[in-house]
Amino acid sequence: MPSGTLFIVATPIGNLEDMTFRAVRILKEVDLVAAEDTRHSRKLLTHFGISRPLTSYYDHNQNFKGNYLLERLQGGESVALISDAGTPCISDPGYQLVRDAVAAGITVVPVPGPSAAICALSAAGLPTDAFIFAGFLPNRAGKRREKLASLVAEQRVMVFYESPNRLLATLEDMQELLGAREVVVARELTKIYEEFVRGTLPVVLAELEGRQIKGEVVILVAPADAPEAPPAEAVPQLLRRCLAEGVSLKDAVKRVALETGQTRSAVYDEALRLKGEDE
Ligand code: SAM
């Protein structure tokens, strides 16, 4: 008998209008819906007129529940995995189930929709060409600071999930370890009290300190400033160093132009001048 399909279905992160037509259709068609919290998800399903059987799948039962779901899939049934909000597997249970399903040759189909990280990034106003999703920082201050210290030189926007209770402590650690970077705190996305607090870390901290922070938050941190290009005066010195290392003139010009931000032709002229001096 052919295996069934495992659907990974995203659900709203607050605003129910963000449920997709496809998510509703798939959830109406599958044999079984696996959810983190069945009581919470029953409300969502009822809202959309979905009455498929629900079973729980969460962090602490995923070992034995995963096997149960795989057996049902192998028996030809289709299963949809949903989480409490957003996209399953993104700082939510599901990764192991997907991995096991793939290993068992079961087709896994994503049904995309909201995810707080992408939602926050899309409206943050920070560069979006490259970013890293760093998930939740460790709860313990020491480990959290260690993790932040390891990200000091990160050149892409960093996206973190955080609990409202730890938000200020985390921002303070970020200020201390990452400096006065640009940061965006995106709170209660897609909900009534949606808010973006933007500015440098000291400005955002000053704005949030003394406030009681409620709801869910995403923190986005701008990358470290690109290291300053060495000034034009450094060109002869860098050229001499490259040539002394046996780098060809052509490659030395290329390398120094990149390092200093000078044009290749300016660097080439300088290289010819040095050559003339040496002869
Ligand atoms: N799987 C979810 C997703 O795709 O976004 C994330 C689940 S994770 C357990 C929950 C965290 O996501 C929250 O602590 C918060 O950092 C972020 N989050 C979820 N919904 C949010 C919202 N409406 N506004 C801001 N952050 C949100």
Among the ranges given (189-193, 195-199, 267-271), the one the predictor scored with the smallest mean pLDDT? 267-271
Calpha distance 261→233 (Å, rounded)? 12
3-state secondary structure of 140: coil
Q: Measured in Å, how far apart are the chain's first and last C-alpha atoms?
A: 82
Q: How confident is the model at residue 259 (pLDDT cuts 50, 70, 90)?
A: low
116 close to 216: Cβ distance less than 8 angstroms? yes
Instruction: Read off the pLDDT of residues 247-256 as tens digits, 9 standing for 90 and up.
Output: 788 888 877 7
Same fold, 5-114 and 118-221: no
Among the ranges given (155-164, 178-187, 189-198, 266-275), the one the predictor scored with the smallest mean pLDDT? 266-275
For residue 227, is pLDDT > 50? no
Q: What are the pocket residues of ligand 1 if the criterion is a CB atom closer than 6 Å to any ligand atom? A: 13-14, 83, 85-87, 90-92, 115-117, 161-163, 186-191, 216-218
Enumerate residues 6+ apart whose C-beta is below 8 A from 279: none
Q: How confident is the model at residue 62 (pLDDT cuts 50, 70, 90)?
A: confident
Fold of 118-221: 3.30.950
Among the ranges given (36-40, 64-68, 238-242, 260-264), the one the predictor scored with the smallest mean pLDDT? 260-264
pTM score over 0.85: no
Looking at domain 5-114, which CATH architecture does it have? 3-Layer(aba) Sandwich (3.40)
Residue positions counted in the chain: 279
Distance 238 CA to ligand 1 centre (A): 48
Distance 218 CA to ligand 1 centre (A): 7
Ligand 1 atom, smallest distance to 163 CA: 14
Instruction: Read off the pLDDT of residues 19-39 as tens digits, 9 standing for 90 and up.
Output: 999 999 999 999 999 999 999
Segments making up each domain of the chain, as ranges: 5-114, 118-221, 234-278
Give 271 or 188, the one with higher predicted confidence: 188
